[in-house]
Amino acid sequence: MKLTAVFTFILCSLRIAATEELRHPPSRIAVVGAGIGGTSAAYFLRQKFGRHVQIDIIEKGDVGGRLSTVEMEGNHYEAGGSVIHPLNLHMKSFVKELGLGTRSLSGNLLGIYNGDEFIFQESEWYLINVIKMLWNYGLNFLRMYMWVEDVLDKFMRIYRYQTFDYSFSTTESLLHAVGGNDFTTKLNMTIDEAMQKSGFSQKFIDDIVVPAMRVNYGQGVKVNGFVGAVSLAGTDSGLWAVEGGNKLVCSGLIYASKAQLIMGTVTSVQERVRPTKSGGTVKLYEVSYETSAGPGLGMYDIVFLATPLNKEIANIDFLGFNPPIETFSKPYQQTVATFVHGRINASFFGCAKPCQFDLSEILTTDNPKHFISSIGSVSPVKPVPESDVSKNSDLKVWKVFSPEPLTDNQLRLLFESYHAVSAKKWLAYPKYTPPEKSPPIILHDGIYYVNSIEWAASAMEMSAISAKNVVLLAYHRWNGKDEHINQEDLAERLKSEL
């Protein structure tokens, strides 16, 4: 009896000690940007810091950011980030948590056009495809599948680390913890070099890998090896999107996090010292912004920057910091998404009439002649009733990616006829030029940069993973818990913990 009482006492005191160890939670946190990075940060912040902290999300444009739809003839189509991989576990759990529906994206017949002819063309017959692949590229396809699988396998460790609350203070240390030198060296070389080193044939790289990079990142095989592998994972099966639009995840996460949304453009962040009730002082960040009703500002303990910080994107001044917080000037790649309801011009793609043209996705090789990166038929984000679908199967809605806006002449070349066009211009993702050095995550004691991770690879799930990492990092640093930051050998150490 007595002994148990002693034990209980010890346990209780330990527990009190454990809770007392935690510093008082921050009272106000600002998140700049309501894309998937900022909104998932707000969601994880609420989970980690509890219900009393005030979370303000400040957004200058639309909730969703680079997740956005365009409207054409009463239907909505994904204009930015559209494809989600079946192993993107954060996106998957958000959708489940928020009660959203999904739609699957598959069954597109793919062709690769080199400017003169199709060098690769899928048929409806699986066996024919396999034979063609083997005939033209030997075992390169199979090997690519295994190569990507290996990267993905290692990368999946991040979810386990995050479940056990581990965080990383730089993008490089996060990548190193999941994939070792194998991953960090991928940032230092192009996907071209990485695949050559792994024994892929140059023909396979030029014919198959280049087009996959162009459709996903608007750039060829000079992108870094890591984003290259992410891009190739986009050729897997089981790809999906959110019913009603991927941006619904962002609005859902704001709602679930009970964050306050402020529609305004953040112009500057500076450090202020304020007296406290108890006679001491506290350092806070003053975040200034412009709203349609005039200027506003807020004082925050922690600031999350969930947007690329480039001048032409965010244009935020960091005032009075010593040493100064560097501005990020590495350029972003422009990509234009153009939606066209019309009949594709088969002869433009070297298919002489009469020609059977049943491709629904056309990728392109590296040829200066091309003014497009890709063209593919798309479905609305919400399934349309059968009766509304055009009976004429070659009168589809096509999404064209190009580095520059399409001219009328170019549209008339691509389409025999069309009757609706809608375009959206993006600064879409970094212009990758390895060796890649990601910008820091910690910009100041309490200022964090969620989008550092984009320089390893830009994707919805990458922003969500980074958001969770940065929230854990901010939490541990707030509470002085270094043992959950930058730990190596986690894969080994967590094996025994189930």
Ligand X SMILES: *[C@@H]1O[C@H](CO)[C@@H](O)[C@H](O)[C@H]1NC(C)=O
The footprint of ligand FAD (CB under 6 A) covers 32-38, 58-61, 65-67, 80-83, 265-266, 306-307, 313-314, 316, 335, 337, 426, 428-429, 451, 458-461, 463
Q: Which DSSP letter does residue 208 get?
A: I
Whole-number Cα distances in Å, 495 to 85, 90, 173, 245 = 25, 21, 20, 38
In sequence order, which residues have a C-beta less than 8 Å from that of residue 267 and are 6 or more positions away?
288, 289, 290, 315, 316, 317
Backbone angles phi, psi at 32, to 5 degrees: -95, 115
Residue 467: in which H helix or E strand, if any?
helix 460-478
Rounded CA gap, 107 and 365, in Å? 22
* Interface of this chain with ligand X, residues 336 to 375, rule: CB under 6 A: 345, 347-348
317 in contact with ligand X (CB under 6 A): no
Bridge partners of 470, per DSSP, are none
Whole-number Cα distances in Å, 155 to 53, 226, 311 = 32, 11, 31
Residue closer to ligand X (CB basis): 84 or 414: 414
435 in contact with ligand X (CB under 6 A): yes
* Residue 38 binding target from ligand X, ligand FAD, none, CB below 5 to 8 Å by type: ligand FAD
Least Å from the CB of residue 118 to ligand X: 14
* Residue 413 binding target from ligand X, ligand FAD, none, CB below 5 to 8 Å by type: ligand X
Residue closer to ligand FAD (CB basis): 261 or 351: 261
Least Å from the CB of residue 431 to ligand FAD: 13
Residue 122: in which H helix or E strand, if any?
none
Site mask, ligand X, residues 369-408, x = CB under 6 A?
----------------------------------------
Tokens coding 448: 């964090």
Out of 27, 136, 188, 196, name the contact with ligand X by CB under 6 A: 188
Rounded CA gap, 182 and 156, in Å? 15
Rounded CA gap, 49 and 59, in Å? 22
Residue closer to ligand X (CB basis): 295 or 350: 350
How many residues in the chain?
A: 498
Residue 153: in which H helix or E strand, if any?
helix 140-155
* Residue 241 binding target from ligand FAD, ligand X, none, CB below 5 to 8 Å by type: none
* Residue 434 binding target from ligand X, ligand FAD, none, CB below 5 to 8 Å by type: none
Number of residues that bind ligand X (CB under 6 A): 11
410 in contact with ligand X (CB under 6 A): no
Of the candidate spans 15-23, 177-185, 321-329, 368-376, the one that interacts with ligand X by CB under 6 A turns out to be 177-185
Q: Collapsing DSSP states into helix, strand and coil, what is residue 375?
A: strand
* Residue 266 binding target from ligand FAD, ligand X, none, CB below 5 to 8 Å by type: ligand FAD
Residue closer to ligand X (CB basis): 413 or 494: 413
Out of 4, 19, 181, 322, name the contact with ligand X by CB under 6 A: 181
134 φ/ψ sector (left φ>0, alpha ψ -120 to 50, else beta): alpha
Side-chain half-sphere CA neighbours of 188 within 13 A: 8
Residue 239: in which H helix or E strand, if any?
none
* Residue 428 binding target from ligand X, ligand FAD, none, CB below 5 to 8 Å by type: ligand FAD
Out of 184, 267, 410, 486, name the contact with ligand X by CB under 6 A: 184
Out of 136, 185, 486, 487, name the contact with ligand X by CB under 6 A: 185
Of the candidate spans 76-84, 152-160, 178-186, 299-307, the one that interacts with ligand X by CB under 6 A turns out to be 178-186
Rounded CA gap, 268 and 287, in Å? 6
Helix ranges (H only) for 166-282 are 171-186, 191-197, 202-204, 210-217, 225-233, 248-257
* Residue 34 binding target from ligand FAD, ligand X, none, CB below 5 to 8 Å by type: ligand FAD
Site residues for ligand X per CB under 6 A: 181, 184-185, 188, 345, 347-348, 413, 416, 435, 437
